[in-house]
C-alpha cells in the first residue's frame, strides 16, 4: 500500500501545484489525506484572500471529495489537545495521526517542528521536497504525471517533446515567463527577456539570471488588452490586484485595436533585440551543482528507506 500524506490547505490552493499533487496521488504514488477543516480552509482562502467566487470554491472542494472519496479523515478531534505543534495547525497534525500518515505536505514547515512530529513517526515536507521524494521512488511514473499535466495545459494539446522541439527550432525566443527563458537557455537557444506585466516574480528572474552570470535587462512589453493594463497600473498593490482580478475579468475581452497593434509591433522589435544566453562555463557549473544536489537527495532518500 502506498504511503499516506496529509495535504495542508496551503498546498491545495495553488491550481498548478494542486494538479501535480493530485495527479501523483491518482497514479498511485501515495494516498492523500485531508479533513473537513482543511477543505473549509481552502474555501476560506480562495474566497477571502484570492477573491474567488464562493460557488467556484465550493465546487472545487466538492470535486476533491468526489475524486478521492477515501481522503477525508474524520473523528480526529479528540486528538487535538495532545498536539504540540503550532495551535492553528493542531488539526492538520491530528489528521495525520488519526490516518496513520507518514508525511505532512505544507509550506508552513515552521508550524510542524520535528519534536512535535517524531512521537508519531511523521515528517513534514515542503511541496518541492515531497514531489522530489516521489520522483526518487518512482521516476518513470512522475515523469509521466508531469508530461500528462503539461499536455493538458497546452492548447492545442502538445507533448513535452513537441514543445521542446519547437523551442529548439527557434532562432530566438521572446520570454515573458521565466520558465520560457530557463528552458531556452538550457537548450542553448538565445532568448530576449520581456518584463512581466505584473511585478510579482521579477526578483526571481534576477536571482536565476545572477546564478548564471547573465546581465538581465528586461524589455518593456505593453499591455495587449485592458485587463493587462489595469493589472500593470495596480503596480503590485495586493489589494488593488485582487480587486482587478475579481471584478475586471470582463476587461480581458476588451481588445482595443491600437493596443493589439502596439503589442504586436513591440514583439517584432524584441525579436530583433540583442538576446541573452548564458556562457558554457556558467551553465556547466550550474549543471554540476544540480547533479551534486540530486546525489545528496538520493543518499537522503536511501537513508530514509533504510531507517
CA dihedral 91, 93, 96, 99 (to 10 degrees): -50
Shared domain check, 138 and 180 = no
For cell 490516518, the residue is 99
Shared domain check, 165 and 73 = no
Cβ atoms of residues 5 and 102 within 8 Å: yes
What is the three-class DSSP state of 13?
A: coil
Cβ atoms of residues 116 and 85 within 8 Å: yes
Shared domain check, 191 and 130 = no
Inside any domain, residue 150: no
- Binned at pLDDT 50, 70 and 90, residue 249 comes out as low
What is the rounded distance in angstroms from the CA atom of residue 206 to the CA atom of residue 307? 40
Shared domain check, 198 and 132 = no
Q: 175-211: string of b/e by CB count within 10 Å (b at 16+)? A: bbebebbbbbbeeebebbbbebbeeeeeeebeebbee
Cβ atoms of residues 121 and 93 within 8 Å: no
- Binned at pLDDT 50, 70 and 90, residue 25 comes out as very high
pLDDT digits (tens, 9 = 90+) for 186-243: 999 999 998 765 555 677 888 889 989 999 888 887 777 676 666 666 665 666 656 6
Shared domain check, 171 and 57 = no
Q: 119: domain CATH number?
A: 3.40.50.1010
pLDDT digits (tens, 9 = 90+) for 103-151: 999 999 999 999 999 999 999 999 988 998 898 888 899 989 988 887 7
Inside any domain, residue 306: no
Inside any domain, residue 153: no
Inside any domain, residue 296: no
Inside any domain, residue 286: no
pLDDT of 7 > 70? The answer is: yes
DSSP string, 96-128: HHHHT-SEEE-S-GGGS-HHHHGGGT-EEE-HH
Based on C-alpha coordinates, what's the Rg of the chain? Answer: 22
Shared domain check, 8 and 140 = yes
Inside any domain, residue 189: yes
The last residue of a domain, from among 145, 178, 197: 145
Cell of 276: 541573452
Domain that holds residue 271: 159-276
Query: Kindly report the CA angle at 146 between 143 and 151, in degrees rounded to 5?
Result: 120
How many domains does one find in the chain? 2
More confident residue, 40 or 153: 40
Helices (H), the chain: 9-12, 15-26, 36-48, 54-67, 90-99, 114-117, 127-137, 139-152, 160-168, 178-186, 202-211, 226-234, 238-247, 257-270, 280-306
Closest CA to 45 of 72, 67, 21, 12: 12
Burial label for 282, CB within 10 Å (0-12, 13-18, 19+), is middle
Closest CA to 168 of 155, 180, 184, 147: 184
Shared domain check, 164 and 136 = no
Work out the average pLDDT over 60-70: 95
Return the H-helix or E-strand segment holding 4: strand 4-7
Shared domain check, 54 and 169 = no
Q: Which residues contact 80 (CB under 8 A, 6 or more apart)?
A: 90, 91, 94
Inside any domain, residue 281: no
The last residue of a domain, from among 110, 145, 180: 145
Shared domain check, 141 and 163 = no
Judge if pTM exceeds 0.75. no
Shared domain check, 209 and 118 = no
- Binned at pLDDT 50, 70 and 90, residue 247 comes out as low
Inside any domain, residue 284: no
Q: Which residues contact 226 (CB under 8 A, 6 or more apart)?
A: 248, 251, 252, 254, 256, 259
pLDDT of 254 > 60? The answer is: no
What is the rounded distance in angstroms from the CA atom of residue 224 to the CA atom of residue 208? 27
Work out the average pLDDT over 90-115: 94
pLDDT digits (tens, 9 = 90+) for 143-158: 899 888 877 876 667 7
Shared domain check, 17 and 133 = yes
Shared domain check, 178 and 141 = no
Amino acid at each position: 500500500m502506498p504511503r499516506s500524506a496529509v495535504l495542508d490547505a496551503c498546498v491545495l490552493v495553488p491550481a498548478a501545484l494542486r494538479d501535480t499533487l493530485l495527479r501523483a496521488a491518482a497514479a498511485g504514488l501515495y494516498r492523500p489525506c485531508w479533513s473537513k477543516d482543511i477543505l473549509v480552509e481552502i474555501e476560506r482562502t480562495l474566497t477571502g484572500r484570492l477573491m474567488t467566487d464562493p460557488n467556484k470554491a465550493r465546487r472545487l472542494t466538492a470535486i476533491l471529495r468526489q475524486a478521492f472519496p477515501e481522503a477525508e479523515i474524520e473523528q480526529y478531534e479528540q486528538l487535538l489537545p495532545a498536539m504540540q505543534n503550532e495551535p492553528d495547525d493542531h488539526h492538520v497534525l491530528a489528521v495525520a495521526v488519526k490516518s496513520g500518515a507518514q508525511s505532512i505536505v505544507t509550506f508552513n514547515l515552521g508550524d510542524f517542528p520535528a519534536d512535535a512530529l517524531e512521537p508519531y513517526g511523521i515528517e513534514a515536507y515542503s511541496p518541492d521536497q515531497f514531489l522530489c521524494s516521489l520522483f526518487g521512488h518512482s521516476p518513470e511514473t512522475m515523469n509521466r504525471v508531469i508530461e500528462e499535466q503539461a499536455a493538458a495545459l497546452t492548447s492545442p494539446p502538445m507533448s513535452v517533446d513537441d514543445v521542446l522541439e519547437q523551442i529548439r527550432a527557434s532562432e530566438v525566443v521572446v520570454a515573458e515567463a521565466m520558465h520560457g527563458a530557463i528552458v531556452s537557455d538550457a537548450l542553448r537557444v538565445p532568448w530576449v527577456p520581456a518584463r512581466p506585466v505584473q511585478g510579482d516574480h521579477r526578483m526571481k528572474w534576477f536571482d536565476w539570471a545572477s546564478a548564471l552570470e547573465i546581465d538581465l535587462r528586461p524589455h518593456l512589453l505593453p499591455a495587449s488588452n485592458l485587463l493587462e493594463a489595469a493589472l500593470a497600473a495596480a503596480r503590485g498593490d495586493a489589494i488593488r490586484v485582487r480587486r482587478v482580478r475579481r471584478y475586471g475579468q470582463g476587461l480581458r475581452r476588451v481588445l482595443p485595436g491600437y493596443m493589439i497593434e502596439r503589442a504586436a509591433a513591440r514583439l517584432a522589435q524584441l525579436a530583433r533585440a540583442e538576446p541573452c544566453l548564458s556562457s558554457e562555463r556558467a551553465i556547466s557549473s550550474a549543471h554540476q551543482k544540480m547533479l551534486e544536489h540530486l546525489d545528496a537527495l538520493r543518499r537522503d532518500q536511501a537513508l530514509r528507506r533504510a531507517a
